Chains A and B, each alone.
Chain A
Amino acid sequence: MPVPDHGGGPWGSGPAGSAGAAGFGVFGVPAGISPRLVRSARFWLRAYPRRWRTARGEEMLGLLADLAGPGDGRLDARTAVNLGRGGWATRWREHPPLGPWLLYRMFDRRIPREYRWWAHDDIDGFWRPLRTFLTGVSFLPIVMMIPGLRDSARVVLVVLAVSSVGELLFWPNHQRRLARRKHLALGPGEPLVPGAYVNREVPRQRVDARSGSLWTACFLTVVAVAGAVAAVVGHRGFAVGVLLVAVWFRVVGALVREGNLRRFVPRHLPQQPHRRLRPVSRQGKVGLAFWSALAIALAWLEASGRLVVGAVVVLGAVALVLLPGAAMAARRTREVALAFAGHDLWRVMAGGRPPLVDYPAQGVAQLDGPIPLGAVVPPHRLGDPPYPALLI
């Protein structure tokens, strides 16, 4: 059973996931420990929940280094098995019971407060869409047993797949943001403690221009090449004409965009007090990789004559028009040390409009002290917004 601790969870008050993908602290590779041993330890420590690694990872790493013999380059088999077993036992102890877990997974019911930190790991986990999909699929046999719904099983499967893929590829952060607000934030009447999550206004997250333009340029290059190959090998004639027109637009567009970029960046960037920049997320990269693979597959189908829709040619033409802007932005953002968002670049380059000043977003944030003794989350009254900003 986990500890009903709303502040920092059972293992500490550090924000989970704040220390990098592996969930470790800020100490890096401790002195005197072989980097190979550290890599090996971090690999096996992945058996533990992310939040546990954030709270205890560095401490455990120190212990493993102390226990390792001099010159050991990796953990021995006994230690590795011991870590694996300990990690999965920890996951098992922290996992909600079947009932609350099913209600949470299947019907998005609010998780009981003592499992809030488990939900934190679940919501931020990379495989969340897959877990949701598999949970749904596991109920298909029950659906098929109900007379009249047997024929709907395929439809249910498709809906589940589309929603899971959509969550991963189209809105990688939207569903997580909603889930955090629903499952992690303290409810009305709960005591406020440092480290607990509360609904409040948070800085709006934007992808930074450098990372965004680089990944966009890579993606557009793949789509443009795929479109060109499909046009030249598969369709010829009209399709090649479409691409040539796109190239013409590309030249004109590049001149316009370069002028826009020179006019606005970086001299006319407004202050953005309610913004936090981040690089393209792992989910975003997976999404781009997926769409790139889809463009290549379409190009192959069209080049080999199996498909004559011409969709990839159109996509390739669009990519050709946009590519110089993205490449120019990627080059320009490398030269300029200022931090600005990909969203700003798009406004400036595509429309010649100045960047917008972001307003704060509704989200969850961890409380930090000092907090008045006995303070609780205020009750939710009729007419209040669904997630009122907390005032203390």
Chain B
Amino acid sequence: MALRTTEQAYLVLLSLAERPRHGYGIVQAVLELSDDAVRLGAGTLYGLLDRMVAAGMVEPDREEIVDGRLRRYYCLTEHGSAAVVAETARLQALACRARRVLRADPALGGA
């Protein structure tokens, strides 16, 4: 199943690229990666995780119980890693093109 890579989905994948994380860890990592701009709600996060697991991009890694709370860790699969690398490359190319456009227009601060 194809998953549309929205900004939230990309940030979740990016947060898992570093290491396996549990739900709260993902929320915190996304907050940090987005410079406090994206605060994931629990419903949004698990909706994304469900779709990512169904798409084979993410899989459960392990479980642990901390202070009586169940924490299930998720990690990227090969397909997920490839998707986040591809999306990063796409965004990078987009940023390059954007910079070129801005440089060409003196009104926008270009030469």
By a beta-carbon cutoff of 8 Å, the part of chain A in contact with chain B is 1-3, 10-11, 25, 27, 30-33, 56, 58-67, 78-79, 82-87, 89-90, 93
Residues of B with C-beta under 8 A to A25: 70
Asked if B18 CB lies within 8 Å of chain A CBs, one says no
**Of the 9-residue stretches B7-15, B37-45, B90-98, B99-107, which lies at the interface with chain A?**
B37-45
Grouping DSSP codes into helix (H, G, I), strand (E, B) and loop, the A interface class, with mixed when no group exceeds half, is helix
Least Cβ–Cβ distance between A31 and chain B, in angstroms:
4
Least Cβ–Cβ distance between A328 and chain B, in angstroms:
44
Asked if B19 CB lies within 8 Å of chain A CBs, one says no
Least Cβ–Cβ distance between A255 and chain B, in angstroms:
54
Residue pair A31, B45 in contact (C-beta under 8 Å): no
User: Contact mask B7-29 → A, CB, 8 Å, 1/0?
Assistant: 00000000000000011100100
Asked if B110 CB lies within 8 Å of chain A CBs, one says no
**Who on chain A is nearest to B2 by CB?**
A1
Residue pair B70, A82 in contact (C-beta under 8 Å): no
Contact residue among B42, B51, B54, B66 (Cβ-Cβ distance under 8 Å from A64):
B42
A59 and B41 in contact, given A1-B54, A67-B24 (Cβ under 8 angstroms): no
Closest 3 CB pairs of A and B: A86-B43, A62-B69, A82-B41
Mark out the residues of chain B between 59 and 111 whose CB falls within 8 Å of any chain A CB in the assembled complex: 65-72
In Å, the complex CA distance between A82 and B23 comes to 15
A31 and B67 in contact, given A63-B45, A82-B42, A89-B47 (Cβ under 8 angstroms): yes
By a beta-carbon cutoff of 8 Å, the part of chain B in contact with chain A is 1, 22-24, 27, 41-47, 50-51, 53-54, 65-72
Contact residue among A1, A10, A82 (Cβ-Cβ distance under 8 Å from B43):
A82
Residue pair B42, A2 in contact (C-beta under 8 Å): no
Contact residue among A11, A31, A66 (Cβ-Cβ distance under 8 Å from B24):
A66
A86 and B72 in contact, given A30-B67, A32-B67, A63-B23 (Cβ under 8 angstroms): no
Residues of B with C-beta under 8 A to A61: 69-70
Residue pair B67, A87 in contact (C-beta under 8 Å): no
Residues of A with C-beta under 8 A to B69: 30, 32-33, 58, 61-62, 65-66
**Who on chain A is nearest to B53 by CB?**
A10
Least Cβ–Cβ distance between B16 and chain A, in angstroms:
15
In Å, the complex CA distance between A317 and B71 comes to 59
Residues of B with C-beta under 8 A to A58: 69-70
21 pairs of residues in contact across A and B, judged by CB atoms under 8 Å: A3-B1, A11-B53, A27-B65, A30-B69, A31-B67, A32-B69, A33-B69, A59-B72, A60-B42, A60-B46, A61-B70, A62-B70, A63-B27, A63-B45, A65-B69, A67-B27, A82-B42, A82-B43, A83-B42, A86-B42, A89-B47
Residue pair A10, B42 in contact (C-beta under 8 Å): no
Which residue among A62, A90, A93 has the maximum number of chain B CB atoms within 10 Å of its CB? A62
**Who on chain B is nearest to A65 by CB?**
B69
Residue pair A10, B50 in contact (C-beta under 8 Å): yes
Least Cβ–Cβ distance between A129 and chain B, in angstroms:
29
In Å, the complex CA distance between A65 and B41 comes to 12
In Å, the complex CA distance between A33 and B66 comes to 12
A86 and B54 in contact, given A32-B67, A62-B70 (Cβ under 8 angstroms): no
Residue pair A79, B41 in contact (C-beta under 8 Å): yes
In Å, the complex CA distance between A322 and B70 comes to 50
In Å, the complex CA distance between A62 and B26 comes to 13
Instruction: Other than A27-B70, A60-B23, A90-B50, give 9 A-B pairs with Cβ distance below 8 A.
Output: A11-B53, A30-B70, A31-B68, A32-B68, A60-B42, A63-B45, A83-B43, A86-B44, A89-B47
